[in-house]
Structure 1
Amino acid sequence: MTSSNSFNVAVFPGDGIGEEITKPCVEILQEAIGKVGGFSASFDWLPAGAGNYRDTGQSLPKDSMAKAAKSDAILLAAMGLPDIRYPDGTEISPQIDLRFEFGLYAGVRPVRSIPGLSPVLNNPDAHALDFVIIRESTEGLFASHGKGTVTNDAEARDTLLITRDVSERLFDFSLNLGRKRKNQGKSGVVTCVDKANVFKSFAFFRKVFDERAALNKDVATDHMYVDAAALNMVRKPWDLDVLVTENMFGDILSDLGAGLIGGMGFAPSADIGDEHAVFQPCHGSAPDIAGKKLANPTAMFLSGAMMLEWLGDKHGCNEAEQAGALVRAAVDAAFANGDLITGELGGKAGTDDVSRAVMTALKELDPAQHGVG
């Protein structure tokens, strides 16, 4: 575990494009750490995933789990391969196992425009989107992961679960984030996204949200049905700030959010609990392009930036927060002139091109001139 200025990071490169985006990410994080100074980090690469299941019969080895449990943060690239599945037909997804094992209830999915990328929406306000989806990551419909039933090949059931304990912590996390964003000059409005007009589980979800909101009156709150949220994310996403929602709804809406900023290759994420946190890009393992150096590593870099900022905030290490902000500034600088165009946007910039551009920008940045010094 951490000392006052040294962190241990468990690294799961996983499957498909995982290793080829993890290596440059770790190099960029180490460069930022060295540039800011004042703390250090070690990176422990660990096996897990569909490929490991194919080779050893274990998707998440006990030793990997034990080392992850002792680490200060977990950096995960991508896991799962469509042609390798458990006997029940479900895909290998150790990332979900990690969420349950460590109680990572707050899935943080930023939706932030990157300078230089052509906006998907043509409204001028869509050029600078900056809102966050908080997806509950241990309950909801995903509570049935591995537990669903099929009866007589005629009826299938998966049960949605909402508990007060997890919901209270989820909402407190979201309200605190809204408070921080308000202090940064954003609206800070926290919106509960649900389907409370139809399901008792979501009416309960909203009830608990309102109770926690009443204890945080300095934070503005709102409600929105999930279908309306999907509409508004396309119609006027610039009006949104913090959206908090159930697991499956968050899974869907966060992909929509990624689409608004250019695709999954630009969408970072974190799954955060009271003690542990996993940081990973929102995209999958993309086995169709694995080994071709075509993968966009930007989401991986930004997930690493989120990890450094979380470590800094959790452990009172200002330098770690500075290093995270510096990585994000380097990503923005690399894309700012519009010449770096990745495959999902119709360009030819691959893994090495993006990695080189971000590293070059990082080396040229002066932390003191980018709000991180």
Structure 2
Amino acid sequence: MSGKTSLEIAVFEGDGIGTEIMQPCLDLLSAVTETVGGFGLTFKSLPAGAGTYSREGTALPPASLQAARNADAILLAAMGLPDIRYPDGTEVAPQLDLRFEFGLYAGVRPVRSVAGTPAVLADPRAAGLDFVLVRESTEGLFAARGKGSVENDSEARDTQVITRAVCERLFDFAFKLAGERKAAGLPGRVTCVDKANVFTSFAFFRKVFDERAALHPDIGSDHAYIDATALNMVRHPWDFDVLVTENMFGDILSDLGAGLIGGMGMAPSADIGDEHAVFQPCHGSAPDIAGQGKANPTAMFLSGAMMLDWLAVRESLPACAQAAAMIRKAVDRVFASGAVVPFDLGGSSGTLAVTEAVMAALRDPEAAAVAAI
């Protein structure tokens, strides 16, 4: 932990709506930094993504990778376009390259209801959802990325990889997170999500989980199969606290979690390793609405808040945590007031309206946020 107060953030706008939601997020981060004081942020914009690949023949230029490596944190909007692909037919996704390159094994996907957003589930308990999915982000089925094979145009194979070294770090991360949540008054329980009844790799995943759970006797632990978990995330998601799972399962469940709180525009995320971390919305580049001013920047704002929380711990800067809390409170205040309803939530508030309302709530916490709908 360095304790430095001047922090450099590597910024990847990427593709599609990424170029529309990043600048509002940077403006918000600059505003909250100025309000709180005690630390400073500088932003370094770096090229990467499908557009970069089409222009330069590489999706993640070496200079961008090195600059990201040198930065204190990495903020990413969205990357990839469906009509720009690698020769094997897969989409350009340098955000995955960053996870593998920097060993970002813990994909943190919070599922938190925001008051004032349209209800997705009828049960009133869904209005208070607050659980976290921790997705392993460097191996599992994704370890086969770029390594799969097709034999005689008749059989295709991808291989899942589960290692003890990554699992131990992943599970320790999940138990530490559950401990922090328990200290904040939440249940403090970790659920291992797997398919251990069918696959050897998942039986091993569960075995290592149980070993690490024994080292955290103050934190509750249990197991659930992936299919049952998908069912229960709809039937009674309020029963979950911290879920930890393999890469592909986590990819699917995180989208389901986003759906429970209104959609991808409300879902932030982080991919965290021992030395580096990337913060980005769960959503993609949404080329169908790019350039129309319709993108909901909320997930981008909340991802920025997650970055500040991580920096607060890493750099011993409580002011960063204060700034993160201010962003979340501003977002909550705006949606609770009904001042904005983004397009993806059934309203007509575009990127600018949401941004202006959140900025106003940040600058004047006592005033009701007002924005054109």
Whether the TM-score (by the shorter chain) exceeds 0.5 is yes
State the AA in 2 paired with 1:156: A
Q: Does 1:165 align with 2:165?
A: yes
- How far off is 1:103 after superposition? 0.1
Residues in 1 aligned to 2:357 and 2:128: alpha-carbon distance in whole angstroms: 22
Residues in 2 aligned to 1:17 and 1:345: alpha-carbon distance in whole angstroms: 17
Residue 187 (structure 2) aligns with:
187
Residue 362 (structure 1) aligns with:
362
Q: Deviations over 1:4-63 (max 9, x none)?
A: 111110000000011110000000011111111111111100000000111111100000
Residue 22 (structure 2) aligns with:
22
Residue 126 (structure 1) aligns with:
126
What's the TM-score, normalizing by structure 1?
0.97
In structure 2, do the counterparts of structure 1 residues 98 and 180 end up closer, same or farther at CA, with 3 Å as the change threshold? same
* Aligned residues with identical type, % of pairs: 66
In structure 2, do the counterparts of structure 1 residues 260 and 297 end up closer, same or farther at CA, with 3 Å as the change threshold? same
Q: Which runs of 5+ in 2 are unaligned?
A: 367-373
SS of the residue 1:111 aligns to: strand
Residues in 2 aligned to 1:207 and 1:6: alpha-carbon distance in whole angstroms: 43
Residues in 2 aligned to 1:29 and 1:339: alpha-carbon distance in whole angstroms: 21
User: Retained in 1: the 8 A contact 2:3–2:316?
Assistant: no
Residue 201 (structure 1) aligns with:
201
Residue 139 (structure 2) aligns with:
139
- How far off is 1:339 after superposition? 3.7
Residue 51 (structure 2) aligns with:
51
- How far off is 1:325 after superposition? 1.0
Q: Which runs of 5+ in 1 are unaligned?
A: 367-373
- How far off is 1:340 after superposition? 1.3
Residue 348 (structure 1) aligns with:
348
Residue 370 (structure 2) aligns with:
none
Residues in 2 aligned to 1:116 and 1:346: alpha-carbon distance in whole angstroms: 13
Residue 370 (structure 1) aligns with:
none
User: Retained in 2: the 8 A contact 1:301–1:327?
Assistant: yes
- How far off is 1:338 after superposition? 2.4
Q: Deviations over 1:261-308 (max 9, x none)?
A: 000000000000000000000000011111111000000000000000
Counting matched residue pairs gives 366
State the AA in 2 paired with 1:239: D
Matches within 5 A, 1:31-180: 31-180=31-180
What root-mean-square deviation, in Å, do the aligned CA atoms of Structure 1 and Structure 2 show? 1.0
Q: Which moved more, 1:95-104 or 1:32-41?
A: 32-41
User: Retained in 2: the 8 A contact 1:140–1:247?
Assistant: yes
Residues in 2 aligned to 1:88 and 1:291: alpha-carbon distance in whole angstroms: 29
State the AA in 2 paired with 1:21: I
Residue 237 (structure 1) aligns with:
237
Residue 315 (structure 1) aligns with:
315
Ranges of 4+ aligned residues in structure 1 off by more than 6 Å: none
Q: Deviations over 1:56-90 (max 9, x none)?
A: 11100000000000001000000000001111111
Q: Deviations over 1:124-179 (max 9, x none)?
A: 10011000000000000000011100000000000000000000000000000000
SS of the residue 1:336 aligns to: helix
- How far off is 1:3 after superposition? 5.9
Residues in 2 aligned to 1:154 and 1:2: alpha-carbon distance in whole angstroms: 55
Residues in 2 aligned to 1:221 and 1:21: alpha-carbon distance in whole angstroms: 38
